[in-house]
Structure 1
């Protein structure tokens, strides 16, 4: 493992202070927010019919876990590697399942449920490593999707007659490592941003929309209908906001024979979701065997400051271990064990509003 040498280490933690710290560490505030777990797959539908409700339930749960596992592997990996993903028999998926919950109903012969499945991260990582398939784990802060429709020189964003926005409303966009948020399109949204302002990249107004949905920024995605060939759709999308890159996503979709305009929009939407997700994963791929440990100083003013930062660190998937070396009234010294490189660690920390900076020969971790 790599280790960064840091000087000026604090004194060991005083026993009484550590006891107080331990007590306060478990006194989490009511309603504390938890980050999305990349190894949890929620809302998987199952519907099975068999000779009895119990038989239907057994089949449904096995199939639901397999479906969730397939979703998980695709979530963590690049689309170019999906054809190489291992096919695990349904009966063996249970070896990778940490636990699951169901919202269920049944009759004498039918079982219907929505499943939430949590998987064992270490076992999934080992599986992907054994197949030499790189993967990412860091979940990005969400982006608000702003789908602008252009036809005949007219722009539409919030209108009900916007078929591009309707395509995004037909799906759940929060799943994946680069989640998105569908805005409500209510009066405050209409007042905050117009279609032309979105297309022209009005940073202040776009930031207002993003802030309303507690998002990191917004993805302005324009779908332009072309006449040659008839019904073609040209997609042009770029992100705005904190941490946004200059990546531009563009592609043209031509309707297949018999394909409806809505189906073309759905195909374009699915491509854009995958492209945005792939771009994020590509920047955060975990390289096999790349593990390191870094010693950081965390300035604090109180134990509640440390508790807040500790919870954020525990929500970062690539940090697989943290070791508190010392704790003083004004700082904590912590070893962070992580997979990936320093840039990936900084990116993961930034998703939790934490900044890692070098100061006077030390790595310092503080809230943004």
Structure 2
């Protein structure tokens, strides 16, 4: 049976049972939604356990699949508990339902009464840490801008057009990584500022200007060279992990798959090894911010620099970069079209000089850096006038499309989400 590419199903098992009933169709499950769900790439709020093998049966395909997911939760918890020191013990299915934040389908085969799969399980970091008796926080690197360079057919591409390499980085979950990745969306000026030529420019002044646009401290340059033997045939990927304005090589390796359909799996495996290489370099002190990027012109006082105010309230957490008319705005991004539409909407507001997505999380909440000639309250009023719901904290903004009543007969209270 066909092997499905990894995808993220953001749901507790109770909701998953409802999804299963409507999504199963033969051996292919939710393929149309895979692109929308594929990344909750931020993933910093989860512990992830991968490679959980399950083989279950049931009266129906739905029952077998649900039994497989429950078994994966139990196995995944045991694996996580052993990894963290063995303090988790055995938990009931109801307790596991409350701490599992998602199921990652790495590979699955579905029959009329049987379910065979390799799954990943994502556990809520804070809840799981409290049960395991470990610290839930994760020490991370300074924010690092990612430039995923793909060489294919003799040409190098970054954000000039969508590439398989870019898509692979967009769906990569960083929950267990100590690297704070800043992943551009590839829209707006990204294709001009971030291209293959940029990685060979050593000028620290130019790099500082670019990094400031994305709220990053340094740059990571993961590169893949793809060699196809013939259309649809074996593919060899030669990977390089580079970093810094001097384009320093950290490691290189090669991977191979037997068919073109396995390209996503090849790239996902390459990213995992590159991420591990970056983490090892960080712990060894090799991966650190270039001193030239920390340069401040003489006479610049601390008070003159932009200040950062963080307002943390669960998923409503936002960051505002004040002092220079630059505001970080969080917004929902169910798909790539939402990123472009929101950027266009923000740029159409009078007083907005720029709107650039600095952290992309397809299927979750992304962050946009907005250059605005005015204060936060004025921007809030302008957004609300255009139909947005705006949450204003301590100088902070979180925007969502406002909900308006859909045309319904008198007496019905259903609402529809405004497009």
TM-score of the superposed pair, with normalisation by structure 1: 0.43
**Larger RCO of the pair (alpha carbons < 8 Å, separation 6+):** 1
What TM-score do you get using the length of structure 2 for normalisation?
Answer: 0.38
